[in-house]
A and B are shown apart, each in its own frame.
Chain A
């Protein structure tokens, strides 16, 4: 590293302000880098950012649209947060969401014009089952055959949309609309009865039911992680699997449980997609949306804290909404993904600042942490067991 002008020096205690301010620094830096790219490609970043902000928050109906966009991101963000803080790399929320949508839509269609009091919980449960089922495959493979979940969840993300395309386009399945005139032109999913549409709240600004569910789940999750025995076990196992095993924590079961919770949250997102918004299966839209991946950025931005996910989902939801709203006018496709990727990269990179401080120049400062630790560190390298053998 001689050619780099700064070094990283280990620090034992990060300053308290650092953690909470990191996400804001990351977002600002990502927007700045995005502006540079816009400038380089001949666009005016000030104008574009201004329009994005208006489209996200201040235009008529913008807030409602932002809340709509934030709903799936809040749920997939929670799915990623609960898994990633346990170091379970569930990248499969995308696929889990899709399979959940299929089951929820199936139940919704089957229930027909029944009361919402029946169909809504039924669809929620169906969605959870779908999400959990799709998450259990990699969970069991990891737990019992030690297959890394990174690749398996990812591969399943590519398989799930194929199932959707098959159901809606290449077959005459239960989910496909075979009657309405528009469906004869291009294949589309069967639409739910209007009585099964999930409710919205609020006047002027409409709050989707799924968003309310998401906020409640975020609070429950925060309580679970912070103040329960189960949450304690998750904390221990996340920090050191060996310590967890030593303490009698059944880490394998815990791993499966975490994947199940994560899959269930993605499942709620899938049910909400059908119940709140599309009211039918839309394979192309779901595949294009990449809610699962964006959810990871949402979770990372919140540093995997469930309550923080609520905020970051709102922010990233606004960005996504703006991307849809002004896309094509003068916002090149891909800019939103680019900025979200930058945010995630910067958040990941900023983690280092909690454990190291940057030191410019070459030589280390003298150790400021008193004498005791250093003395013993020195002893550890000396490592003798301190004592003559019996003569």
Chain B
């Protein structure tokens, strides 16, 4: 886009904005947006969006990734300034220049990445940075009492004296909400808050949000999950491709979920489900784990008695709330972390514990959750990152010397094959998320593994990159690779996996057939619920 064209657009949009603002006064709204437009070069992230929240309601902002939800919220909370359009609080136009100014107007956002300081206590975090009251002195007991009072009002169970780093993700989220309310939030924006929660924790959250709304405060609930929206929200605004594509009052009309879905994605279908293996798990087992346990650095146990097997061409999904031993399991299988006890065998042969090289040589590939930093060395080139594991192979040099031309030759082949936008010399940290993940997958899949361990492979990617990555995984499975798919996104697991193993507190709670699995049951297992309910299917593993 040429700069002057861009300017003309802006002027035109300003005119539109003015007409929109005139035509639709937002009198009773706690927070409203009128004709919000925000362009990034080449992308119109928000295109004349209208949106309003009245006091006492829970309002859903529904949309796919890339639909402009996040940009809109960043504008509402002062992180971005709109190119055109108005934000109104209680009917008055406001021009936030920073989140602090939005706070002052009572608008708070709970991001997916919490702003909590781990070693400090709940009460300390709640008052952190809050200088409007309390003065110079920090009176711990007073603050703790105040925090406890707010928590009680919302039926949130949090000990104000607890250290953040010892809390679960769900508890931390409650602290974030408490923090906002302590500071006098009247409108609370939550960005996909249930992604990190078990279904049961999500229910708890809904109770608290309902309480807030009943007390006259407003909640904006960003989501792409239709069932949550219909369970919790009073009204819904749907965004698609940067525009308001529809809205509905859920209290008055019985809105069809399919209708909302169509508004949201603009088409009826979602990602294709994978056609299942005819007899999942009955092929020859590639990976077999029995009685595997592991401890972390402090010596506390992170995996207990893991029994798992994955057959050739099978995708086994590992579901669980983040931080329940998924990382340890991936690391133990790939040799990054030694196991404390138990056996891991690949194709019937035991693999040594804590030996990455042996695992790599035997054909275990690993796409780690931490893409930039573990999966890729950020300051090195694409070619170096392609050679990250293969540099030891004889074909990449002679004796102690490494042949740069051969590595680059190989890299160029993979760049083409995996459609990476970058050159051999591009530094990894210059790659976009999707391209970085393609480089990791190119390296791992091209090593012709027997087993591929992938952790949250599509996190943070846009829809098209996500589709590519999923396609690559399915192709690998079809080529006979056994795949362990670790994900916090149950939908992704149910779409891709043949079987689902559920992990909680370092134990496998059960293994279910993905076709027959029921979300409620998986949710129960994710919370460490009773194994008996899932026993019938768990037997199938043994």
A/B contact in complex, CB under 8 angstroms: yes
B377 touches which of A229, A236, A375 (Cβ 8 Å): A236
Interface string of A147-161 (1 = CB under 8 A from B): 000000000000000
A227 near B404: Cβ-Cβ < 8 Å: yes
Least Cβ distance of B194 to chain A in Å?
9
Q: Which of B369-411 contact A (CB under 8 A)?
A: 370, 373-380, 384, 387-389, 391-392, 397, 400-402, 404
Q: Identify the closest chain B residue to A391 (Cβ).
A: B227
Least Cβ distance of B336 to chain A in Å?
6
Number of interface residues of B (CB under 8 A): 79
Any B CB within 8 A of the CB of A243? yes
Least Cβ distance of A282 to chain B in Å?
40
What chain B residues lie within 8 Å of A370 (beta carbons)?
Answer: 41-42
B226 touches which of A12, A371, A386, A388 (Cβ 8 Å): A388
Any B CB within 8 A of the CB of A15? no
The total number of A-B Cβ pairs within 8 Å is: 175
Least Cβ distance of B136 to chain A in Å?
23
B224 touches which of A242, A373, A376, A387 (Cβ 8 Å): A387
A240 near B378: Cβ-Cβ < 8 Å: yes
B459 touches which of A233, A378, A383 (Cβ 8 Å): A383
B433 near A376: Cβ-Cβ < 8 Å: yes
Report the stretch among A73-81, A207-215, A245-253 that lies at the interface.
Answer: A245-253
A367 near B41: Cβ-Cβ < 8 Å: yes
Least Cβ distance of B322 to chain A in Å?
12
Least Cβ distance of B375 to chain A in Å?
7
Any B CB within 8 A of the CB of A330? no
Any A CB within 8 A of the CB of B461? yes
A229 near B397: Cβ-Cβ < 8 Å: yes
What chain A residues lie within 8 Å of B487 (beta carbons)?
Answer: 385
Given A227-B401, A236-B388, A385-B487: A243 and B433 interface contact (C-beta under 8 Å) = no
Interface string of B96-125 (1 = CB under 8 A from A): 000000000000000111000000000000
Given A248-B360, A371-B43: A379 and B65 interface contact (C-beta under 8 Å) = yes
For chain A, what secondary structure do more than half of its interface residues adopt (helix, strand, loop), or is it mixed? helix
B195 near A385: Cβ-Cβ < 8 Å: yes
Q: Which of B343-373 contact A (CB under 8 A)?
A: 355-357, 359-360, 366, 368, 370, 373
Least Cβ distance of B14 to chain A in Å?
17
Least Cβ distance of A252 to chain B in Å?
12
A382 near B69: Cβ-Cβ < 8 Å: yes
Least Cβ distance of B324 to chain A in Å?
17
What chain A residues lie within 8 Å of B378 (beta carbons)?
Answer: 239-240
Q: List 8 A-B contacts (CB under 8 A).
A: A12-B429, A12-B430, A240-B378, A240-B379, A243-B373, A374-B43, A386-B64, A387-B224
The 5 closest A-B pairs by CB, nearest first: A371-B42, A248-B356, A385-B489, A382-B70, A380-B460
Given A246-B368, A389-B491, 18 more pairs with CB closer than 8 A: A12-B429, A229-B402, A240-B374, A243-B375, A245-B336, A246-B374, A247-B389, A248-B335, A371-B42, A372-B432, A375-B43, A377-B433, A378-B70, A382-B192, A383-B195, A385-B456, A386-B463, A388-B224
By a beta-carbon cutoff of 8 Å, the part of chain B in contact with chain A is 40-43, 45, 64-66, 69-71, 111-113, 191-192, 195, 224-227, 257, 261, 270-271, 335-336, 355-357, 359-360, 366, 368, 370, 373-380, 384, 387-389, 391-392, 397, 400-402, 404, 421, 427, 429-430, 432-434, 456, 458-463, 465-466, 487-492, 494-495, 519
By a beta-carbon cutoff of 8 Å, the part of chain A in contact with chain B is 12-13, 227-233, 235-236, 239-240, 242-248, 366-367, 370-391
